[in-house]
Amino acid sequence: MATHYYTVTWDQLHRDARALAWRLVTLTPFTGVVAITRGGLIPAAIIARELEIRLIESVSVVTYDEEHKGDPVVTKYPVAAGDGTGFLVVDDLVDTGSTARVVRALLPKAHFACVYAKPAGKDLIDSFVTEVSQDTWILFPWDTEPQFSVPLARREHPI
């Protein structure tokens, strides 16, 4: 289980995905984008918009159940991407790299990009924006909702 949690807001995710697109714009033109579902869907849409890419494919790899990690299973293949030639693969995060390894085997010629990268997986991708520690669990905006937070002074164990 993670020892640190980092909350990413919708605004921050949008900013970070655009920053990733800015890094990728010199590598264009890409034929299309492959979003790794589910986390890569929104960053892929933002990046596809910024790079003016209209062809968007997806690959579905199931790895997590809440915070528990299992073996990756491909439940939808990115048929339109072939071997990945000319394609940009986008995910929200590379953690241990287990998903990236599976998708790289499917699309060995694609360019891999993630918004966030942890040390154990960052060598498996080609581009990313922000590195976070391995023991940090990122709370993405689609997994959270705004709610009242008890002030630290009122908590039994503030930190």
CB of 142 closer than 8 Å to CB of 149: no
Query: Looking at 11, 83, 91, 126, which residue is catalytic?
Result: 91
91 in active site: yes
- 68-77 LR contacts (CB < 8 Å, sep 24+): 69/96, 69/98, 71/98, 72/98, 72/99, 72/101, 72/102, 74/102, 74/106, 76/37, 77/106
Query: Looking at 95, 126, 135, 143, which residue is catalytic?
Result: 95
Query: Looking at 16, 92, 123, 135, which residue is catalytic?
Result: 92
C-alpha 58/C-alpha 34 separation (Å) is 5
95 in active site: yes
Active site (catalytic) residues: 91-92, 95
